[in-house]
Amino acid sequence: MAARIRLASGLALLAAILAITPLRAQDASGRSPIDSCPADGGCKVKDGDYRIIVPPQAGPGQKLGAIMYFHGYQGSAEETISDQGLVAVARRLGVALIAPDGMGHSWSFPGSPAHGRDEFAYVGHVLDDATQRFAIDPARIMASGFSQGGSMVWYLACRMPARFAAFAPIAGAFWEPLPQSCAGPRPSLIHVHGMSDGTVPLAGRALRYGYKQGDVFKSLAILAPGGCTAAWAADVSKSGQSEALSCRLATGCGGSARLELCLHAGGHMADPAWVERAWRLAMPAEAPVSATGAKLTSP
């Protein structure tokens, strides 16, 4: 399930590379820069490593948002940060791009054929390290990913909803056996899927050795129980007449978190523009920062 991600043109690719500076961060005093993670091997954490690209900061004391993007099966963190479409999105949004690295080019979530490590502990280590080492706001991190990486994002939304501000999985949902329930509060989640996806169909499919991808609509019902997304499965045939997204925004699910399903007529594919769209819709606006570095809030 190698990721098929649309790339930008050669000129846009060059511009994105030139616009991203080497990793630099400040210590607690805000004065002395610390060394960036090494290019070879990435940033080391317990049970693994990750890669990261950080744009120039807009001003002293200002923390950046971040997109943590999970690669597909047989992908890698190196592949993620080499995707100039994703790099260009991070550049336009002014956020860091964090690329976790799956052990054995796979992810060990419940139901997965891989059993390499505790992925939830690993992701926690990456989050802790990235927010301590770099000027990243822990309250403005969105998880996104493609295919098996998209499924990993679903499990993070279920198991670790408080560690991310939003989730944007693409072409991947829960696997069988489906979770019985998810931790609260219900998070903001925007899911994108192709109606002609034969690799990870909307209804899921059985794989070898008894493994089975889960149904997207059943996954939505677990994340938001109570029937607020029940009608989506019934009228799915009315969507996706082209590769443009046809989106449904859930209402009546309780709470203010955004829950949205976006379909297109294509197959197993991902477009960085979908990640950018999810960020702009689901992420909280950054609070202004005072001269002392404290975030200002309205009375």
Position with higher pLDDT, 11 vs 143: 143
Q: What are phi and psi of 13, to 5 degrees?
A: -60, -50
The model's pTM is 0.83
Give the pLDDT of residue 61. 77
Give the pLDDT of residue 77. 95
Residue 130, classed as helix, strand or coil, is helix
Give pLDDT tens digits for 71-95: 999 999 999 999 999 999 999 999 9
Give pLDDT tens digits for 52-68: 999 876 567 789 999 99
Give the pLDDT of residue 41. 75
Residue 211, classed as helix, strand or coil, is coil
Cβ atoms within 10 A of the Cβ of 163, count?
17
Give the pLDDT of residue 39. 62
Which residue, among 186, 170, 199, 204, has the nearest Cα to 254 in the 3D structure? 186
Cβ atoms within 10 A of the Cβ of 166, count?
23
Domains of the chain (ranges, CATH numbers) = 39-282 (3.40.50.1820)
Give pLDDT tens digits for 250-276: 999 988 999 999 999 999 999 999 999
